[in-house]
Structure 1
Amino acid sequence: MIRIDKYESLTAFKQDVISFLEQDEAANNLLLGVLQSLSEQDLTPLLMAAVRNNDNIALVLFQTHPKQIILSKPAALSSQDIHDLGGKLAQTIQTIPGFIGEKKITIELAMYIAQAKGTPSRILMEQTIYKLEKVNHTRHTNGNLRQVVDSDHPLIKEWVYQFCLETKQPLSLEEASNKATFLINKGNLVAWEVSGELVSMAYATRPTRHNITITYVYTPSNHRKKGYASDCVAAFTQMLLDRGFQTASLYADQSNPTSNYVYKQIGYEEITDSIVIQFQ
Structure 2
Amino acid sequence: MNINFEKDVRTYTELVEPLLLKNEACNNLMLGILNRIAEGDAPYNDVNFGYVVEDGEVIYAFMQTPPNNWIFPDLDSVTEDVPRKIAAFLHHKKVNVPGVLGPDYLVKPFVEKWGNLHDVTSNIHMRQLVYQLDAVNEVPPASGELVAADEQYHQLISDWLIQFGVEADEPITRQGADKLAAQFFKNRSVYLWMVDGKPVSMVNRSRRTKNGATINAVFTPDAYKRNGYATSSVAALSTKLLKDGVQFCSLYTDEDYPTSNRIYKKIGYYQVGSSVVYEFNRK
TM-score (norm 2): 0.91
- Summarize deviations over 1:189-217 as a string: whole Å, max 9, x none: 11111222211111012112110000010
Query: What whole-Å deviation, never above 9, does each CA across 1:3-25 have from its counterpart, x for those lacking one?
Result: 31221222321221111112222
How has the CA–CA distance of structure 1 residues 80 and 171 changed in structure 2, closer, same or farther, with 3 Å as cutoff?
Answer: closer
2:184 and 2:82 map into 1 onto residues whose CA distance is 41
Percent identity between the two aligned chains: 29
User: Following superposition of structure 1 onto structure 2, how do residues 58-97 of structure 1 map, counting pairs within 5 Å?
Assistant: 58-97=59-98
- 1:254 maps to what in 2? 255
CA–CA separation in structure 2 for the residues paired with 1:72 and 1:219: 30
Counterparts of 1:275 and 1:152, CA distance in 2: 33
Contact 1:67 1:278 in 2 (8 A): no
Say which SS state the counterpart of residue 38 (structure 2) adopts.
coil
**Structure 1 residues 261, 93: closer, same or farther in 2, change over 3 A?**
farther
C-alpha distance after superposition, 1:127-165 (max 9, x if no partner): 111011011132241211111112222322211110112
* In 1: Cα distance, 2:81 partner to 2:182 partner: 47
Shift of residue 84, structure 1, vs aligned partner: 4.1
Q: Is the 8 A contact 2:23 2:75 kept in 1?
A: no
Q: Which residue of 1 aligns with 2:231?
A: 230
The 2-side partners of 1:67 and 1:78 are apart by: 25
Task: Give the equivalent residue in structure 1 for 2:48.
Answer: 47
State whether residues 10 and 40 of structure 1, in contact with CA within 8 Å, keep that contact through their aligned partners in structure 2.
Answer: no
Q: Secondary structure at the match of 1:38?
A: helix
Q: Where in structure 2 are the equivalents of 1:3-18 lying within 5 Å?
A: 3-18=2-17
Matching residue of 2:196 = 195
2:128 alignment partner AA? Q
Alignment correspondent of 2:128: 127
What do residues 94-128 of structure 1 show as CA deviations (whole Å, max 9, x unaligned)?
Answer: 32221121122112211111112212122211111
Gap change, CA 1:197 and 1:5, over 3 Å in 2: same
Q: Which amino acid aligns with 2:121?
A: P
Deviation at 1:65, TM superposition (A): 3.0
User: AA paired with 2:196?
Assistant: S
Which residue is equivalent to 2:217? 216
Partner of 1:269: 270
CA RMSD in angstroms, aligned pairs only: 2.0
Alpha-carbon offset, residue 186 of structure 1: 2.0
TM-score (norm 1): 0.92
Cα distance, 1:136–1:40 mapped onto 2, change above 3 Å: closer
* Residues 178 and 43 (structure 1), Cα distance of their counterparts in 2 relative to 1, 3 Å cut: closer
Alignment coverage as a number of residue pairs? 279
CA contact (8 A) 1:89 1:113 kept: no
1:29 is matched with 28
Shift in Å at residue 251 of structure 1?
0.5
Q: Which amino acid aligns with 1:147?
A: A
Q: Give me the whole-angstrom Cα distance separating, in 2, the residues matched to 1:112 and 1:278.
A: 14
Q: Compared with structure 1, are the counterparts of its residues 79 and 31 closer, same or farther at alpha carbon in structure 2 (3 Å cutoff)?
A: closer
Gap regions ≥5 residues in structure 1: none
* Offset at residue 93 of structure 1 (A): 4.9
Alignment correspondent of 1:98: 99
Structure 2 gap segments, 5+ residues each: none
Distance 1:180 1:197 in 2: 19
* CA distance in structure 1 between the aligned counterparts of 2:45 and 2:155, rounded to whole angstroms: 34
CA 1:242–1:96: 2 relative to 1, 3 Å: same
Contact 2:32 2:209 in 1 (8 A): yes
Measured after TM superposition, the shift of residue 55 of structure 1 is 3.4
Any idea what the Cα deviations from partners look like across 1:31-59, whole Å, max 9, x if unmatched?
01111121397765431111234433332
